[in-house]
Structures are given as C-alpha cells and as structure tokens.
Amino acid sequence: MRLFVAIELADTARLEVLKVVDELSAIHNKQRFVSPDNLHFTLKFLGEVPEDKIAAVENAVAESVNGIKPFIVRTQDLGFFGSRRSARVVWVGTSKGMEEIIQIARKLDSRLSAFRKDEREPSPHITICRPLGETSKLIEDVEKMKFAELGEMLVTAIKLKKSTLTPKGAVYEDVRTFELI
C-alpha cells in the first residue's frame, strides 16, 4: 500500500481553503489543483509499504501521537515551493498549531525512518496545487493572497491514509484513525 500520515481538514477549514482554490482555479484553469476531498496536512509520507509491515506502521503512529492532546490549527498564508517560473507546489500554511504539527512529524520521522527518512525539516502546509508548466502568473496571484487568514480548526485525530494513483489523480482512503486524548 502507498501510505502517508495526515491531519484532515475540518469542514469549516476546508471550505475556507476551497474559497482560495476556487478563486485561483477560476483564473488558472489549466493548472492542476488538488481535489477538495484530498486537502490535508501531510505529517509523513511513507510510499509503498508491504502488507505485512502495516501493523508496525500503525504501532509507530500510535506511539508518535501518544500523550498529544487536541490542539488548534490556524490555516493562513499562501506560498510555493520551487521558483516563480517553475513552482512545484502551491500551498496554504499555518501559524497557530505549527509547533504541534512539527513535533508529531518529527516523532513520526524518527519512528518510521526504516520506511522513509525525511531529508528536510517539517514544513506544515496544505498542498492546493501541483502546477504544470510556467508558473509566473500563478505565483503573482498567489503572492497577492499571501497573508490570507483562513480560519481555525481543532485537531482531534491523526490518520494513516492509503493513496491510490489513478489517471484522474490520487484517491485517498482511511486505513486507521488515531484519536488525540
């Protein structure tokens, strides 16, 4: 299974992020925007994991979130990874809750490094677009929205998710939910 660990957006946060996505996609309709159902904060991408290792992954995720209480995340700010002309990802960031997300991501990376070790420090974000081709105009419009405040949500669970790649994009399914208590 192709797996990752994520924080899903609450409906209210999803709606606020979708307003930005709708505004950008109306202007840049040739770009590849993320499906509304697929908006999330990735905590750890694992890639292909053999079926017989899934229980070990679940145990590592459970250990990583053990003792972490529900917390508030504020979604705000837009940005991009890559260059202005060739951005790889357009994202929505976070301010409040960033420390908690980074803490969980680091624990996950430590406990799951046998599957995949992250080379970079965690950078909490929601991918909203994976641009195609030249991106200068898109990034110009992203920068106009750079300081957008998109609301808050209470994070009460972390999810282990399966990603199936299809010609129409990735389809995500929950494998297991880990409640924060």
Residue with tokens 């660990």: 5
| Catalytic residue ranges | 40, 125
Report the distance separating Cα 140 and Cα 105, nearest Å: 30
Backbone angles phi, psi at 81, to 5 degrees: -110, 140
Residue with tokens 């145990």: 59
User: Which residues does 80 contact at the CB level (< 8 Å), separation at least 6?
Assistant: 87, 88, 89, 90, 91, 135, 139, 142
How far apart, in Å, are the Cα atoms of 153 and each of 31, 97, 127, 172?
28, 10, 17, 21
Helices and strands (DSSP H and E) totals, the chain: 4, 8
